[in-house]
């Protein structure tokens, strides 16, 4: 039981990456709860996910509304594209105590995800990357397996790829207008075997963070390394 004099830990709000949903955090939510954290995984709007604007501005506005409804301090954790969302949404939010970027886009104002990912080599086979259809980007099962799910079991890959949804191109091309990490302490967790967002690109952005950690995983450690990731997230929340 927590001492009455012990400072309450921030609520950990988890923000998923592009093409995914709140379900992506399912393996780590119970582990984080067991570690003593209060956890909330949010779901951004999008085709097959929920109503609202599907671009960065819409996602940031949604997250700000979620923050306004929470009591007490909050730590925001963004995975991949979710990093751009927390960068934009947390600016000026009085209850955000810290930020965690998990192989994520820690953007400067005026920079887009596409800009920050310029250091990541394109797949040699174009079929292993996203494809555009109108205003939306789609990821095939083969592309998702290559980009997102290194180190995952075949069962995990099949379950995850069956739940992916299209992502609006505005999530990739829209620049951040505000950069909350200038005022809020941040931790960057580098995924050393990621091919979707290369370690080189991650480390360039991690240099902007207050502190840095590393995990020897591909893009989705919540699936491939849930206990190791839980330990890193718990440490980052307590650091705040």
33-91 pLDDT tens trace = 999 999 999 999 999 999 999 999 999 999 999 999 999 999 999 999 999 999 999 99
Average pLDDT, the chain: 95
User: What is each CA distance from 24 to 2, 82, 83, 207, in whole angstroms?
Assistant: 30, 12, 15, 27
**Which residues lie closer than 8 Å to 227 by C-beta, 6 or more apart?**
31
Task: Select from 240, 204, 236, 228 the least CA-distant residue to 103.
Answer: 204
* Confidence bin at 2 (pLDDT 50/70/90): very low
Q: What percent of the chain has pLDDT over 70?
A: 97
Interhelix angle 141-148/154-161, nearest 10 degrees: 120
* Confidence bin at 8 (pLDDT 50/70/90): confident
Say whether 153 is catalytic. Answer: no
Q: Select which of 38, 45, 65, 80 is catalytic.
A: 80
* Confidence bin at 4 (pLDDT 50/70/90): very low
- What is the value of pTM for the model shown? 0.96
């Amino acid at each position: 039981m927590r001492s009455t004099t012990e400072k309450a830990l921030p609520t950990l709000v988890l923000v998923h990456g592009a093409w995914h949903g709140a379900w992506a955090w399912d393996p780590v939510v119970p582990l984080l709860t067991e570690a003593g954290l209060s956890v909330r995984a949010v779901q951004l709007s999008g085709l097959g996910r929920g109503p609202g604007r599907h671009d960065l501005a819409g996602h940031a506005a949604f997250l700000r509304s979620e923050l306004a409804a929470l009591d007490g301090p909050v730590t925001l954790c963004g995975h991949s594209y979710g990093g751009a969302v927390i960068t934009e949404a947390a600016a000026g939010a009085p209850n955000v105590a810290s930020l965690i970027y998990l192989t994520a886009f820690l953007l400067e104002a005026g920079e887009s995800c596409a800009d920050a990912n310029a250091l990541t080599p394109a797949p040699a086979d174009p079929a292993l990357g996203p494809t555009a259809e109108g205003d939306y980007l789609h990821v095939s099962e083969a592309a998702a397996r290559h980009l997102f799910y290194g180190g995952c079991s075949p069962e995990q890959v099949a379950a995850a790829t069956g739940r992916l949804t299209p992502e609006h191109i505005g999530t990739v091309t829209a620049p951040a207008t505000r950069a909350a990490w200038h005022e809020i302490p941040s931790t960057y967790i580098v995924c050393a075997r990621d091919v979707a967002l290369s370690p080189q690109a991650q480390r360039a952005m991690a240099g902007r963070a207050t502190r840095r950690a590393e995990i020897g995983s591909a893009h989705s450690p919540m699936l491939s390394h849930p206990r190791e990731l839980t330990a890193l997230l718990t440490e980052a929340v307590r650091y705040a």
